[in-house]
Amino acid sequence: MRKILSILVGLLFLGILSSCSNLNKEMNYTLSYNYEVSIEDPVIKQEVIDYIESTFVKGTMNPTYFAKLHDAAEQAVQYFQKEVLNSSVFQEYFYSHLKEGTKEYVVIEAVLTGKYGDCWIGTKVWQWSSESAT
């Protein structure tokens, strides 16, 4: 029994090592997005969902990087910061569809997808607060 357990632990360790070494290889990674929309009015909610689908999910905001995971993630973070976090266009669009003083929100999450799994890049939430839309 002890021998079998030792063999299984050894195989598990080898599997872990081989999968981690794949992360240090250059391969294709694509920036993709998850989202959540909480808006009371179903017509406005669908309009925002359609906008997100056409802009983020199926649009031109999905760059592909051929690099090691660390380098691709670094490039994706810079892209996400420039194009989404610091975008006055998205800020104005999303805030114009949220009712002031409610708990409505829009969340965009950027994820770097690759052959061996996903890597979280960042999340942006648009929700009314005392600092919103300034």
**pLDDT tens per residue, range 60-117:** 899 999 999 889 999 999 999 999 999 999 999 999 999 888 899 999 999 999 988 8
Q: Which residues of 57-75 are buried (b: 16+ CB within 10 A; e: fewer)?
A: eeeebeeebebebeebbeb
Note the pLDDT of residue 38.
95
Domain assignment present for 63 = yes
Task: Write out pLDDT tens, residues 33-63.
Answer: 999 999 999 999 999 999 999 999 998 899 9
Domain assignment present for 41 = yes
Domain assignment present for 73 = yes
Tokens 């989202």 identify what position? 35
CA neighbours closer than 13 Å in the CB half-sphere of residue 27: 13
Domain assignment present for 58 = yes
Domain assignment present for 19 = no
Domain assignment present for 10 = no
d(CA 41, CA 63): 32
**The two structure tokens encoding residue 114:** 């690759």
| Structural domain that includes position 61 | 26-127
Domain assignment present for 109 = yes
pTM over 0.85: no
Report DSSP state, residue 34.
Answer: E
Domain assignment present for 53 = yes
For residues 130 and 91, the model is more confident at 91
- Number of domains present in the structure of the chain: 1
